[in-house]
Structure 1
Amino acid sequence: MRQSKPSERVTIVSVAYNSAAVLDTMLASVPVETPVVIFDNASQDRPQLRDVIAIRGGNTHLVESDENLGFGAGCNGGAARAETEFLLFLNPDTALFPDTLERLIFAADQHPAATAFNPRILDDDGTAILKRRSDLVPRRAWLPRSALTHDTVVPILSGAALFVRRDDFDAVGGFDPRIFLFFEDDDLSVRLSETRGNLMYVHDARVRHVGGASSEWSPKGERLKNWHWGFSQIYTMRKHGLRMGCLRAFLKTGLRALSPVTILSTRRRTKYAARLSGMIRSLRRGGDYNG
């Protein structure tokens, strides 16, 4: 009987939104035997996305949504198609190293009490991108600024490359679909660590952040992004019972909105006005987008 390769024990799940231009690099980095599920959130470039996926072929599945459901709901939709022991939620603008999956699975096997993991995510210049803090965890648990040089238990994980045991992911209900964008990885990290096991950073498992050409700034895009930031920040704090944290976040954003630097900058005025609007909506509606 053939023994499964480590890379067959994990499914890559990626949420696409107008991501065809970068997705080919990510797919090319995934071992051919590893199943991949792409959840497309009503992208305008869906025909190109289909072409990119067809080139990889093999065990690659495209789930097409007629509306943009947000990052967390897209991850859940992709994960629902997986049958493997592990899931790796991977941003479209990243790429694996040849041994990334092997190292992640080795770490999971060595640390059975850990539930979810982040690899070392490297920017274009080789700098490690590490999530060190979250308003959802006590300040005393935040990571210091010094670089991590070995596998370490961490307080929070980044959703850009989040490796998790599928049973644990399912047990906590996956990502919260009410969070459209931002802080969904913070929320999932806290629920996993509180009920399922430790979160870990795996130093020798690497993922490269490929990125792409920066899109042109627009007031509409800035308002939309920051409205969701403000809404989700308050929603997640209320969800985890951090009412004083909500007040501090609102006051901090308000002070930034009123600063001379912001008043003199169109971009900053747009940014903080939208964040405050999202926060106020979340406070008034208790986190209900449709309320």
Structure 2
Amino acid sequence: MNYGDGLGVVTVTYSPGETLAPFVDTLAKATTRETRVILADNGSTDGVPEQVAAEREHVSFVPTGGNLGYGGGANRGVAALGPEVGWILISNPDIEFGPGSIDTLIEAAGRWPRGGMFGPLIREPNGEVYPSARLLPSVGRGIGHALFAVVWPSNPWTKAYRQEQTPVERTAEWLSGSCFLMRREAFDSVGGFDERYFMYFEDVDLGDRVGKAGWQNVYVPEAEVTHIGGHSTARSSDRMLREHHRSAYRYLADRHTGVLWAPFRFAVKAGLTLRVKLLTRG
């Protein structure tokens, strides 16, 4: 399908509370374009998404029909956009946008004609830069990162995986799903998010498939946003920790299929299960 040059913003809501209104309102300083905002709601009970949509003409409340997870909700939100929208910004609802940040991402697309996905620099609430443009997990890096990230944060496997370096515009193997821009053509070419990932690794999987489809993932640090919720507490609960490890196994198992890889899949599953038990004791 031929799309127009319009901009659509999709955020997945699940009782987002007081962060949602600033998210929507800071869009005005992030772009000079007219913007259609979709609140893909996964079953909020706080009434906030309905209220925010009712008070703003350019915002639409779109119930997804249940808690579909991040990727499933985002897919429903994108599907609600018309053909005039050729640029999609998908974001958590606890992001606040820096001045001109979305326009900067779109401008970068002119420098990267095969760029399909563009990620901004993401700051934590304390001002620290979150490493949002990374290498894909490999077997070696994955094992090293899993074993030593907590007890030895500066280990070489974690440093290589997180790609912490001076922020410069460059390609990456995947970009954080908390905030990114996509050409709608690129999103369609890979079928959007894989909805089997309820939470976590859906962005890693998407970045991998975007690259395999011939597009580039581009990190654009001149565009800046702040993640108010912060990544540091995103996995604090035992349930989220289990979900993270479940998604990690799915990602690795999907890429190591067949009988010959069966011992590897068994070992990975056993190791991740043990790690969850150790991290959730007490």
* TM-score above 0.5: yes
Structure 2 counterpart of 1:284: none
CA contact (8 A) 1:36 1:59 kept: yes
Amino acid corresponding to residue 129 of structure 2 in structure 1: A
CA deviation map 1:18-38 (0-9, x unaligned)? 103210110111128211111
Percent sequence identity is 28
**1:65-80 alignment runs, 5 A limit:** 65-80=64-79
Which protein has greater RCO, CA pairs closer than 8 Å, 6+ apart? 2
Structure 1 counterpart of 2:18: 21
Residues 181/254 of structure 1: CA separation in 2 closer, same or farther (3 Å cut): closer
Amino acid corresponding to residue 188 of structure 1 in structure 2: L
- RMSD value over aligned CA atoms? 2.9
CA contact (8 A) 1:157 1:186 kept: yes
Asked if 1:269 is matched to 2:271, the reply is no
Q: How many residues end up aligned between the 2 structures?
A: 250
Distance 1:143 1:151 in 2: 18
Structure 2 counterpart of 1:235: 250
Distance 2:118 2:271 in 1: 31
Q: Is there any run of 5+ residues in structure 2 with no aligned partner, and where?
A: 142-156
* C-alpha deviation, 1:225, in angstroms: 2.1
Amino acid corresponding to residue 227 of structure 1 in structure 2: R
Residues 246/134 of structure 1: CA separation in 2 closer, same or farther (3 Å cut): farther
Residues 178/95 of structure 1: CA separation in 2 closer, same or farther (3 Å cut): same
Local SS of the residue matching 1:75: helix
Distance 1:229 1:188 in 2: 16
Distance 1:70 1:119 in 2: 23
CA contact (8 A) 2:7 2:35 kept: yes
Structure 1 counterpart of 2:269: 250
Local SS of the residue matching 2:174: coil
Q: Is there any run of 5+ residues in structure 1 with no aligned partner, and where?
A: 271-291
Local SS of the residue matching 2:62: strand
Distance 2:183 2:137 in 1: 25
CA contact (8 A) 1:39 1:75 kept: yes
Structure 1 counterpart of 2:106: 105
Structure 2 counterpart of 1:167: 185
CA contact (8 A) 1:137 1:155 kept: no
CA deviation map 1:33-92 (0-9, x unaligned)? 2111110101111x232112223x122111113311111110000011223111111100
CA contact (8 A) 1:175 1:184 kept: yes
TM-score of the two chains, using structure 1 as the length reference: 0.76
Asked if 1:188 is matched to 2:206, the reply is yes
